[in-house]
RNA sequence: GUCCCAGUAGCUCAGCGGAUAGAGCGGCUGCCUUCUAAGCAGCGGGCCGGGGGUUCGAAUCCCUCCUGGGACGCCA
């Protein structure tokens, strides 16, 4: 028998999950995989086919019902190495697979698949398990309590959050939800770029608007922020503080007005994000890295490691020595650090100071070129670069009908997150962004999004939840107690199809935590809703048959638990009525 | 010029080594005396950008070309 590779052992650990009433059990997919592995080992031990290294055994969910609940192509993969007909391998494997109480049967199917069917009784019992466990049914233990930080949005506090940033916001908050469900200890963080040029420009712009607001002649600085929101900010500052800043030195006034403006801007950003359910555990100040001399320490570490070189009056990070295309300036010839330098310090802080096991950054596509050098500098600081994952969310192109909307904060042409939520609503907005994988560019037609809002798939999913709530309300009004309902009565095709969808959520949580691709959640939720609507239309729940009524009410409750949980993971509300 | 991402139904997008390629929207046709019709059932719709390869098997992997977006600063 082949000893499982260390990699396989790791995997089996990753796939365990707790939280069921009968103690720790394993994801069903993983159980099936293990059984096939066992079967292969036994077949080889018995000499049914030559003993060779068993390739990675993968189990998939076939799309066609007649192919069973799981399918495995191991025989096809084995065929060449053992020089046998794959169908013959499959046939010899079938009787070796231990069925246990989960599996009904295993079939060999041409050209050499193993099709695995789950036992009806096992599926039915999951309904009880879901009702007992509640939302925790979906939880897995992939993270094993490891500390992971998700840093996202981190928009410069020079203006409100706009539509493009919203994609990253929705993505990050959902990932954080899922990672938590997968057993990680999660910190959601917003990095405040409160140091550097852009902030100086913002302060100076705000100061100019302030002077204008108190009736003085003032010009925006070159390249300054032209957005109307700064005019409003300035007016509000005047309302609260009068013209006292106009009487101080320009330098001091810019500092004080700027400080006020920064705080107000951050508050606007926080509120706008909260409106689509995005909240943070930590707001981390870039300036703090300098004030606590963590920046200086990081630079010193790089210098000691021989990663810095002085040239043309600037200090460079010699990334070419680490296989990069070019070196990067860390300290400019004017003595000021670059954004890259504080980023190095920031990531040193994340790993070495705060001790996160893993860090996930969500960036816009316009920062994509910075990934290699950030990884390089993390490595140069003696940290393992693979602990850092940078997810690049592609651009969101805005349209209004046929007209393209160009978003530029400095020019002030912004479609803000606030506008978007006002037009489309937070639920549709989250669902819409979430349904697309981050690496595909998307076109957001504001007209269409608004028009579609009644036909948006999010309502389809939410409606299923509202129907569930309605049935449970009726049951309660009629004083029905279904705790003793017998799940063995759930045998209709619509009932079984629904149960099959319900049991998928833990596996989905596992795979999203693994691949960091939450766009599968909305698709799952839609499929689950479809299964429920189908059930609803074919199986009347509350009837004059008390036994069947109780059993079906249990299924309805279990459906509500899983549907609400998948909506919760996406940050979408689960309405009781619609 | 170099690097990254994308190209799948009329539109917006899933699928990323498995069996006859999917969903929503839009179009057409049926279904409300029964727990919400924001629902269900059905019809139509595709050289999976082109061309080569690898494989028992390719929308999926490799090469190449085309198209669109992004990145290549002592900006962030």
Residue range(s) occupied by CATH 3.30.1360.70 in chain A: 6-118
Q: What is the spatial distance, in angstroms and rounded to an integer, between the CA atom of A285 and the C1' atom of B74?
A: 23
Mean pLDDT along residues A57-63: 86
Q: Is A396 helix (H, G, I), strand (E, B) or coil?
A: strand
Comparing A547 with A52, the larger pLDDT belongs to A547
Q: How confident is the model at residue A87 (pLDDT cuts 50, 70, 90)?
A: very high
Q: Which residue has the tokens 């998928």?
A: A504
pLDDT value of residue A407: 56
Mean pLDDT along residues A469-478: 95
Crossing angle of helices A546-570 and A505-515, rounded to 10°: 10
In chain A, which residues from 72 to 101 place their CB closer than 7 Å to nucleic acid strand B? Answer: 73, 76-77, 79-80, 86
Q: Is A311 helix (H, G, I), strand (E, B) or coil?
A: strand
Instruction: For A234-286, give the DSSP string.
Output: HHHHHHHHTTGGGGS-HHHHHHHHHHHHHHHHHHHHHHHHHTTT---SEEEEH
Which fold, A137-142+456-570?
A: Isoleucyl-tRNA Synthetase; Domain 1 (1.10.730)
CB A192 within 8 A of CB A283: yes
Average pLDDT, chain A: 89
In chain A, which residues from 249 to 308 place their CB closer than 7 Å to nucleic acid strand B? Answer: none
Q: What is the spatial distance, in angstroms and rounded to an integer, between the CA atom of A63 and the C1' atom of B38?
A: 28
Q: Which residue has its C-alpha nearest to nucleotide B72's C1'?
A: A369
For residues A327 and A320, give the distance between their C-alpha atoms in angstroms, rounded to a whole number: 6
Closest nucleotide over all strands to A342 (CA to C1')? B76
Q: What is the spatial distance, in angstroms and rounded to an integer, between the CA atom of A68 and the C1' atom of B61?
A: 27
Mean pLDDT along residues A36-65: 84
The pairing of strands A16-20 and A23-26 is: antiparallel
Q: CA gyration radius for chain A?
A: 29
H or E segment to which residue A458 belongs = helix A457-477
Q: What is the 3-state secondary structure (H, E, C) of A327-391?
A: CEEEECCCCCECHHHHHHHHHHHHHHHCCCCEEEEEEEHHHHHHHHHHHHHHHHCCCCHHHEEEE
Asked if strand B contacts A467 at the CB level, meaning under 7 A, the answer is yes
Asked if strand B contacts A520 at the CB level, meaning under 7 A, the answer is yes
Distant-in-sequence, close-in-space partners of A408: CB < 8 Å, separation ≥ 6: A414
pLDDT digits (tens, 9 = 90+) for A390-444: 999 998 887 776 666 665 555 555 678 998 888 888 999 999 899 999 988 887 8
Asked if strand B contacts A453 at the CB level, meaning under 7 A, the answer is no
Asked if strand B contacts A390 at the CB level, meaning under 7 A, the answer is no
pLDDT digits (tens, 9 = 90+) for A387-400: 999 999 998 887 77
Neighbours of A251 (CB within 10 A): 8
CATH superfamily to which A147-192+281-393 belongs = HUPs (3.40.50.620)
For residues A81 and A55, give the distance between their C-alpha atoms in angstroms, rounded to a whole number: 10
Crossing angle of helices A520-538 and A493-502, rounded to 10°: 160
Closest nucleotide over all strands to A527 (CA to C1')? B23
CB-neighbour burial class of residue A500 (10 A; exposed 0-12, middle 13-18, buried 19+): middle
Closest nucleotide over all strands to A454 (CA to C1')? B38
Q: Hey, which residues does A189 pair with through a beta bridge?
A: A151, A282
Would you state the structure tokens that stand for residue A41, as one six-digit string?
A: 């080992």
Q: Taking Cα atoms as reference points, which of A292, A282, A382, A299 lies closest to residue A345?
A: A299
For residues A70 and A26, give the distance between their C-alpha atoms in angstroms, rounded to a whole number: 16
Q: Which residue has its C-alpha nearest to nucleotide B25's C1'?
A: A455
pLDDT digits (tens, 9 = 90+) for A485-512: 999 999 999 999 999 999 999 999 999 9
Q: What is the spatial distance, in angstroms and rounded to an integer, between the CA atom of A225 and the C1' atom of B33?
A: 65
CB A74 within 8 A of CB A55: yes
Asked if strand B contacts A365 at the CB level, meaning under 7 A, the answer is yes
Closest nucleotide over all strands to A364 (CA to C1')? B70
pLDDT digits (tens, 9 = 90+) for A532-543: 999 999 999 999
DSSP class of residue A444 equals: E
Which nucleotides in chain B lie closer than 7 A to a protein CB?
A: 2-7, 12-16, 18-19, 21-26, 34-41, 55-57, 68-76
Least confident of A240-254, A293-307, A397-411: A397-411
Q: Hey, which residues does A389 pair with through a beta bridge?
A: A360
pLDDT value of residue A51: 76
Q: What is the spatial distance, in angstroms and rounded to an integer, between the CA atom of A523 and the C1' atom of B46?
A: 22
Would you state the structure tokens that stand for residue A137, as one six-digit string?
A: 């049914």
Comparing A115 with A415, the larger pLDDT belongs to A115
Residue A169 predicted with pLDDT over 90: yes
Closest nucleotide over all strands to A452 (CA to C1')? B25
Residue A318 predicted with pLDDT over 50: yes
Closest nucleotide over all strands to A459 (CA to C1')? B38
CB-neighbour burial class of residue A240 (10 A; exposed 0-12, middle 13-18, buried 19+): exposed
Mean pLDDT along residues A469-493: 94
CA angle, A146 as apex, A266 and A381 as ends, to 5°?
Answer: 70
Mean pLDDT along residues A105-113: 91
Least confident of A239-243, A254-258, A410-414, A433-437: A410-414
In chain A, which residues from 164 to 183 place their CB closer than 7 Å to nucleic acid strand B? Answer: none
CATH number of A6-118: 3.30.1360.70
Asked if strand B contacts A62 at the CB level, meaning under 7 A, the answer is yes
Residue range(s) occupied by CATH 3.40.50.620 in chain A: 147-192+281-393
Question: Distance of CA A126 to CAs A137, A282, A562, Å?
Answer: 10, 38, 12
CB A565 within 8 A of CB A180: no
Q: Burial code of A541-572, b = ≥16 C-beta within 10 A, e = fewer? A: bbeeeeebbbbbbbbbbbbbbbbbbbbebbbb
Q: Is A136 helix (H, G, I), strand (E, B) or coil?
A: helix
Neighbours of A246 (CB within 10 A): 18
Q: Which residue has its C-alpha nearest to nucleotide B13's C1'?
A: A436
In chain A, which residues from 410 to 449 place their CB closer than 7 Å to nucleic acid strand B? Answer: 435-437, 439-443
For residues A267 and A254, give the distance between their C-alpha atoms in angstroms, rounded to a whole number: 19
For residues A518 and A514, give the distance between their C-alpha atoms in angstroms, rounded to a whole number: 10
Distant-in-sequence, close-in-space partners of A395: CB < 8 Å, separation ≥ 6: A164, A364, A365, A366, A441, A442
Q: Taking Cα atoms as reference points, which of A371, A372, A418 lies closest to residue A392?
A: A371
Asked if strand B contacts A539 at the CB level, meaning under 7 A, the answer is yes
Comparing A54 with A154, the larger pLDDT belongs to A154
pLDDT value of residue A411: 54
Asked if strand B contacts A187 at the CB level, meaning under 7 A, the answer is no
pLDDT digits (tens, 9 = 90+) for A359-376: 999 999 989 999 999 999
H or E segment to which residue A185 belongs = strand A185-192
Mean pLDDT along residues A107-119: 92
Residue range(s) occupied by CATH 1.10.730.10 in chain A: 137-142+456-570
Q: Which residue has its C-alpha nearest to nucleotide B20's C1'?
A: A64
Closest nucleotide over all strands to A440 (CA to C1')? B6
Q: Taking Cα atoms as reference points, which of A554, A457, A545 lies closest to residue A498?
A: A554
CB A442 within 8 A of CB A436: yes
Percent of chain A with pLDDT over 90: 72
Q: What is the spatial distance, in angstroms and rounded to an integer, between the CA atom of A524 and the C1' atom of B41?
A: 22
For residues A353 and A1, give the distance between their C-alpha atoms in angstroms, rounded to a whole number: 46
């Amino acid at each position: 028998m082949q000893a499982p590779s260390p990699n396989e052992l790791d995997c089996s650990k990753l796939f365990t999950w707790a939280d069921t009433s009968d103690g720790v059990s394993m994801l069903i997919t993983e159980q099936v995989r293990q059984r096939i592995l066992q079967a292969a080992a036994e077949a080889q031990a018995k000499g049914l086919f030559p003993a060779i290294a068993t390739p990675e055994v993968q189990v998939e969910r076939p799309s066609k019902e007649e192919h069973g609940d799981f399918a495995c192509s191991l025989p096809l993969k084995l065929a060449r190495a053992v020089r046998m007909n794959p169908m013959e391998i499959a046939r010899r494997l079938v009787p070796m697979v231990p069925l246990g109480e989960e599996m009904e049967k295993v079939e060999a199917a041409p050209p050499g698949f193993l099709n695995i069917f789950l036992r009806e009784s096992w599926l039915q019992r999951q309904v009880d398990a879901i009702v007992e466990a509640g939302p925790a049914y979906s939880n897995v233990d992939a993270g094993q309590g490891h500390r992971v930080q998700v840093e996202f949005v981190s928009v410069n506090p020079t203006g409100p959050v706009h539509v493009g940033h919203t994609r990253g916001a929705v993505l990050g908050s959902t990932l954080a939800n899922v990672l938590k469900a997968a057993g990680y200890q999660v910190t959601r963080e917003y990095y405040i770029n409160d140091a550097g040029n852009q902030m100086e420009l913002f302060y100076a712009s705000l100061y100019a608007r302030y002077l204008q607001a108190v009736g003085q002649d003032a010009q925006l600085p070159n390249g300054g922020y032209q957005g109307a929101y700064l005019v409003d900010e300035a007016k509000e500052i005047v309302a609260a503080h009068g013209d006292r800043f106009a009487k101080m030195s320009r330098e001091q006034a810019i500092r004080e007005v700027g400080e006020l403006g920064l705080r107000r801007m951050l508050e606007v950003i926080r509120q706008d994000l909260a409106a689509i359910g995005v909240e943070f555990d930590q707001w981390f100040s870039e300036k703090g890295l300098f004030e606590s001399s963590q920046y200086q320490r990081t630079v010193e570490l790089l210098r000691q490691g021989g990663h810095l070189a002085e040239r043309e009056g600037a200090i460079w990070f010699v990334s070419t020595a680490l296989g990069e295309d070019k070196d990067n300036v860390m300290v400019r010839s004017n003595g000021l650090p670059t954004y890259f330098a504080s980023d190095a310090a920031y990531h040193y802080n994340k790993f070495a100071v705060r001790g996160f096991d893993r860090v996930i950054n969500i960036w816009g596509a316009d920062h994509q070129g910075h990934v290699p050098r950030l990884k390089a500098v993390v490595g140069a600081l003696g940290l393992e670069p693979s602990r850092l994952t940078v997810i690049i969310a592609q651009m969101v192109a805005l349209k209004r009908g046929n007209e393209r909307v160009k978003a530029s904060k400095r020019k002030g042409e912004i479609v803000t997150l606030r506008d978007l939520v006002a037009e489309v609503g937070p639920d549709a907005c989250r669902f819409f962004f979430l349904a697309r994988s981050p690496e595909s560019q998307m076109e957001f037609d504001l007209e269409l999004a608004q028009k579609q809002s009644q036909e948006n798939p999010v309502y389809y999913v939410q409606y299923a939840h509202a129907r569930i709530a309605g049935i449970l309300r009726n049951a309660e009004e009629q004083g029905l107690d279904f705790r003793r309902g017998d799940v063995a009565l759930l045998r209709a095709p619509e009932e079984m199809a629904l149960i099959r969808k319900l049991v998928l959520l833990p596996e989905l949580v596992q795979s999203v935590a693994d691949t960091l691709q939450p766009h599968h959640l909305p698709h799952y939720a839609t499929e689950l809703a479809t299964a429920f609507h189908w059930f609803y239309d074919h199986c009347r729940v509350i009837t004059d048959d008390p036994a069947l009524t109780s059993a079906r009410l249990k299924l309805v409750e279990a459906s509500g638990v899983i549907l609400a949980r998948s909506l919760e993971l996406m940050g979408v509300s689960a309405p009781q009525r619609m």
